[in-house]
Amino acid sequence: MIHIPVLRWGEPYKSMDVDKVVHFATGEPMVEVSRANGGLIERDMRHAKRARDVLREFPIAELIKMIKKAADFYVEAELPLGDGTQTPDQFVRMQSATTGLPEHMCRFNMKKNHFVLNQMDKMLDALTRGLDPDILSRGYGVEHRGVPVSYQAQSPVLGLVLPSNSPGVHTLWLPIIPMQVGLVLKPGPQEPWTPFRMAQAFYQAGIPKQAISIYPGLGDVGAAVLASCPRSLIFGGTATVEQYKGNPRVQAHGPGFSKIILGDDEVDNWEKYLYIMADSVFVNSGRGCINCSGIWASRHTREIAEALAERIGPVQPLPPDDPKSSLAAFTVAGQADAISADIDKDLQAAAVHDMTAKFGKRLVKKERCDYLRPTVILCDSPEPAISRKEFMFPFATVVQCPQDKMLEAIGPTLVCSAVTKDKKFQRALIDAMHIDRLNIGPIPTIQLNWLQPHEGSIVDFLFRARAFQFDKDMVNV
């Protein structure tokens, strides 16, 4: 059996504590993974400055070239995995076997990561708003308009406490290395594969091993990463986001509560937009924070809910290697049961209707995993609690609400696709502080522009702009 060690600044470390990773469908052990502990991370972080120092030995332009090479290694090469190796096909099977995502979705996420890596020069240009990369490297310089600027790195490394639900989140940390900031990764329990494979692809492309640490483990490991790194990202539920709200050291990414809004001027044409509703709810098995969990309209909500239910409600689970498989399995025991029970409890409220019940049971139990089939709930008003909930499977509420009450009622929203030509309503949407990403028009919530920041700029999080003046006889620019 392959053993995957802790990577301490690129050096393998086998701990006495290990976790066996098993295939969710067969129960077959796949690999064993060394488990780090909080004390190990606290000790290693004394050397975090070295990660940035070794990266600053390379110009950012050269690091970008390495990252582009790493893109091809990631999708094509047989790379080291612990004391063994892993082909791209093995990576896909392993990722599917632990996350529950169908294999074709895992391949799609590989392509998405490859695209981001391969376009890294454009990504950084967009994320830095056209800043000369050498200014980040030196810490100072002169903008194209002749203004002296200075950007100070707030941490030599970025800590990440990663989730297991969707491999797509890894695109958020791929630009970090070319900004000459090291990585401290705590993988999700069911998804250690991408961090380890990406690290090996980086190494093969010439990125110094001392720039990356990977610490598999339990909750204490994630807590140690957040406590030890001056800047960190964490992914979790609403409770996690609330815990770190206002903490300048931590950027917390939680549920998206993404929504589609049909304005009064377009709602009578709702059938034209059914396809974007279905795709926004269903693609990637509904696992992403950008998947739509709420469709809001002032009228026609029953017809919308019925049509959406007819479209996605009949879908049945298929084996993960079936190219037509569109539902991800729940590989953590009891998780699907708890979600389904939560929904059933909310269905007891007045004015709440399960529009997909007629297509069969929501919870499908297998020997070693469970599935939740697509669920569409109609709410006659925004009052029921379920109208503001999100779950990690194809789930959506269709909520009836007057247009002039919508923005007050929808709550925090990561992505809002508003189908309206009403200029006054568009202005209110643009001004709404609780909408993070706004689409005006029939644009699926899952359609991203990779040249735009996701939930805040990672550059602004990692670098502080400060006043800077210099005497040209003293400083070379």
For every one of its 477 residues, what pLDDT tens digit does the chain have, with 9 covering 90 and above? 889 999 999 999 998 899 888 888 788 888 999 999 999 999 999 999 999 999 999 999 999 999 999 999 999 999 999 999 999 999 999 999 999 999 999 999 999 999 999 999 999 999 998 899 999 999 998 888 888 899 999 999 999 999 887 777 888 899 999 999 999 999 998 899 999 999 999 999 999 999 999 999 998 999 999 999 999 999 888 888 888 888 999 998 888 999 999 999 999 999 999 999 999 999 999 999 999 999 999 999 999 999 999 999 999 999 999 999 999 999 998 999 999 999 999 999 999 999 999 999 999 999 889 999 999 999 999 999 999 999 999 999 999 999 999 999 999 999 999 999 999 999 999 999 999 999 999 999 999 887 776 666 899 999 998 888 877 778 776
pLDDT confidence of residue 326: 96
**Could you please report the per-residue DSSP string of 312-370?**
HTT-----TT-TT-----B-STTHHHHHHHHHHHHTTSTTEEETTGGG--SEEE-SS-E
- Across the strands, what pairs with 260? 295, 417
pLDDT confidence of residue 454: 66
pLDDT tens by residue, 340-353: 999 999 999 999 99
User: In 3D, which of 427, 438, 422, 108 has the Cα closest to residue 266?
Assistant: 422
Residue 350, exposed/middle/buried by CB under 10 A (0-12, 13-18, 19+)?
exposed
Q: Where are the alpha helices (DSSP H) in 7-102?
A: 38-44, 48-55, 60-76, 88-99
pLDDT confidence of residue 173: 92
Helix (H, G, I), strand (E, B) or coil at 86: strand
* Cα 293–chain centre separation: 16
Q: Where are the alpha helices (DSSP H) in 2-47?
A: 38-44
Joined tokens for residue 308: 């959406």
Q: Residue 82: which region, alpha, beta or left (left: phi > 0; alpha: psi -120 to 50)?
A: left
Q: How far apart are CA 100 and CA 188, in angstroms?
A: 13
pLDDT confidence of residue 455: 64
Side chain identity at residue 258, one-letter code? S
pLDDT confidence of residue 117: 96
Q: How far apart are CA 4 and CA 327, in angstroms?
A: 29
Side chain identity at residue 93, one-letter code? R
Phi, psi of 437 (to 5 degrees): -120, 125
Q: How far apart are CA 442 and CA 345, in angstroms?
A: 33
